[in-house]
Amino acid sequence: MSTSTTAVIDVQSLNMKYGDFHAVKDLSFQVRRGELYALLGTNGAGKTSTLEAVEGHRAATSGTVRVFGRDPRDRGGVRPRTGIMLQESGFSPDLTVRESVRLFGTLSRRTDRVERLLDLVDLSHRAGTRVSQLSGGEKRRLDFATAVYGGPELVFLDEPTTGLDIRSRDALWDAVDRLREDGATVVLTTHYLEEAQQRADRIGLMHQGTLRREGTVSELTRTLPATVRFSLPPSAPVPPLPAVPGEGGALLVETPALQKDLHVLLDWARDHAVELRDLQAGPTRLDDVFRAMGAE
């Protein structure tokens, strides 16, 4: 899964307006070849509007968007290289699962085997079932199968795991890993922050139409303190680090240097024969960065 500095997506000073409402404001970002880039944000931040411009579904009010160096509305040049899993599927309810994959596959102008895709998303046993009779999770898996038909170079995954059980999620991410091993570039949006935290090479965080933060997970989280949580027996001496009371009698220590302060605490506990009950050391999570951004 190597990434290069070549930009597959290049967005410069993008503005999207709906009438007087300015939904995306002067947004610039790039997605490099082979990268998994997660575009995350609060509700109404402008992610869908941005992706619609990048996918060529909606014209920008101003600014430039290039995908593979071309205008994304150049359907002949961009569409055959791109797979899109939208939030809302556009399948005809009367078609069967097999027919849907075949139809969308033909539209993609790529080649693949329908049976391979059904197997990939564990829908082989539902091949002859009409789309109207699928469960929400099965429809989502069908969406994914049509998006990755023929191994596109660039895949957009818009909330791909919403409604999927844990086994289907794991299978979907395994399939994404295999696409990436073949060099695919992936753009992800999700409200499941832990998925982005685990999988994204880089993350862009949007809020109220602008890109507020961008970087790797460690670049984004290193600006906020980590938390150590523990409880002490009533007779324990005063701990060596400034601690504030938390829920259920726990003590919380916020630290910008988790490893160092954890050492201090553990050495102190050993030297004083103190039991640190329910000890938890939580690194800063993307959720914390998100909350901090929402409060700005």
Per CB under 6 A, does 49 bind ligand ATP?
A: yes
Residue 166 binds ligand ATP, judged by CB under 6 A: no
The span from the CA of 173 to the CA of 182, in Å, is: 14
Tokens, residue 187: 């753009």
Measure CA 183 to chain center.
18
CA atoms within 13 A on the CB side of 63: 23
Q: Which of 1, 12, 13, 18 binds ligand ATP (CB under 6 A)?
A: 18
Residue 44 as a binder of ligand ATP (CB under 6 A): the answer is yes
Q: What DSSP designation does 284 have? A: P
| Segment 222 to 281, residues that bind ligand ATP, using CB under 6 A | none
CB-side neighbour CA atoms (13 Å) of 180 = 23
Q: Could you give phi then psi for residue 170, rounded to 5 degrees?
A: -60, -40
- Quick count: other Cβ atoms within 10 Å of Cβ 213? 17
**43 forms part of the interface with ligand ATP (CB under 6 A):** yes
DSSP string, 72-93: TT-HHHHGGGEEEE-SS----T
Cα 61 to its chain centre, rounded Å, is 26
Least Å distance between CB 43 and ligand ATP?
4
Identify which of 193, 197, 213 has the alpha carbon closest to the alpha carbon of residue 205.
213
Interface with ligand ATP, residue 45, by CB under 6 A: yes
The least distance separating ligand ATP from the CB of residue 45, rounded to whole angstroms, comes to: 4
Q: Is 21 in the site for ligand ATP (CB under 6 A)?
A: yes
Can residue 204 be called a binding residue for ligand ATP (CB under 6 A)? no
* Closer by beta carbon to ligand ATP, 23 or else 224: 23
Alpha helix stretches (DSSP H) within 40-128: 47-54, 75-78, 97-108, 114-120
Work out whether 46 is an interface residue with ligand ATP (CB under 6 A): yes
Shortest approach of ligand ATP to residue 16 CB, angstroms? 8
Q: Can you name the residues that pair with 18 across neighbouring β-strands?
A: 21
Stretch that binds ligand ATP, among 45-53, 197-205, 239-247, 275-283 (CB under 6 A): 45-53
Binding of residue 5 to ligand ATP (CB under 6 A):
no
Contact call for residue 20 and ligand ATP (CB under 6 A): no
Q: How far is the CB of 36 from ligand ATP (least distance, A)?
A: 19
The β-bridge partners of 222 are none
Pick between residue 40 and residue 147 the one whose CB is nearest to ligand ATP.
40
Pick the binder of ligand ATP from 7, 11, 48, 290 (CB under 6 A). 48
Closest CB to ligand ATP among 18 and 259? 18
Token code pair at residue 1: 């899964």
Identified binder of ligand ATP from the candidate list 10, 27, 36, 47, rule CB under 6 A: 47
Query: Shortest distance, CB of residue 90 to ligand ATP, whole angstroms?
Result: 17
Q: How many residues bind ligand ATP (CB under 6 A)?
A: 11
Cβ atoms of residues 199 and 192 within 8 Å:
no
Choose among 62, 43, 27: nearest CA to 213: 27
What are the C-alpha distances in Å from 272 to residues 146, 232, 238, 264? 62, 12, 10, 12
- Mark the segment that binds ligand ATP (CB under 6 A) among 3-11, 46-54, 91-99, 218-226: 46-54
User: Minimum CB separation from ligand ATP for residue 50, in Å?
Assistant: 7
List contacts with ligand ATP (CB under 6 A).
Answer: 18, 21, 23, 41, 43-49
